[in-house]
Amino acid sequence: MENPRDIFIAHLRRKGLFLTRERRLILEAIFSLRKHFDFDELYDTVKKRVGRVSRATIYRTIPLLIDSGLIRDVFRGTSGTQYEQVRGLEHHDHLLCVSCGSYIEFKDERIERAQQEVCKKHGFVSVDHKLGIRGYCRKCALIKRVKA
């Protein structure tokens, strides 16, 4: 039951929903994409494979996939939400280069643990969290320094 398709079906069942052709194709399309993707990439991929799909269907399916734990939304930039495949991957946070748009993933146990403590101290029940550090990646930082 670690198969994404089975996970998805199980989640749909639980909510009394069907695994339709479209939902299956959207799920498959996601796994043909790079790990981080946005709406348009998903939309274009599905369209290329099926010929026709409604934007609304994609928008309706995304929350189902999020609730299934198969993807998550990572950032919300100026041009729409960025998603990423979860694929059994561990939770992680991001370094985001504001210059070239690249990102680095990281996970720091000290940060994760400290967050739990913060929540505990405030009687707060955490559901999820996002830590995004914006700045300049090694390459862009170098370029910037050369220019300056």
Partner DNA sequence: ATTGAGATTGAGACTAAGTATCTATTAGAG
Partner DNA sequence: CTCTAATAGATACTTAGTCTCAATCTCAAT
Tell me which residues in 31-90 interact with a second copy (CB under 8 A). 76
Rule CB under 5 A: is residue 38 a binding residue for Zn ion? no
Instruction: Say which entry of a second copy, DNA, Zn ion, none residue 135 contacts (CB below 5 to 8 A, set by partner kind).
Output: a second copy
Looking at 77-85, 87-95, 111-119, 132-140, which segment touches DNA (CB under 7 A)?
77-85
The only residue of 48, 49, 55, 139 in contact with DNA, by rule CB under 7 A: 55
Q: Which of left, alpha, beta for 101 (phi over 0: left; psi -120 to 50: alpha)?
A: left
Structure-token pair, residue 40: 């348009």
- Between 52 and 110, whose beta carbon lies closer to DNA? 52
Structure-token pair, residue 80: 């729409």
The only residue of 31, 32, 40, 98 in contact with DNA, by rule CB under 7 A: 40
Q: Which residues contact 82 (CB under 8 A, 6 or more apart)?
A: 36, 37, 38, 73, 74, 75, 76
Instruction: Say which entry of Zn ion, a second copy, DNA, none residue 84 contacts (CB below 5 to 8 A, set by partner kind).
Output: Zn ion
Q: Following DSSP, what letter does each residue of 90-121 receive, concatenated? A: PP-EEEEETTT--EEEE--HHHHHHHHHHHHH
**Under a CB-based contact definition with an 8 Å cutoff, are residues 43 and 51 in contact?**
no
Contacting residues toward Zn ion, per CB under 5 A: 84, 93, 105
Contacting residues toward a second copy, per CB under 8 A: 76, 95, 97-98, 104, 106, 108, 110-111, 114-115, 117-119, 122-138, 141
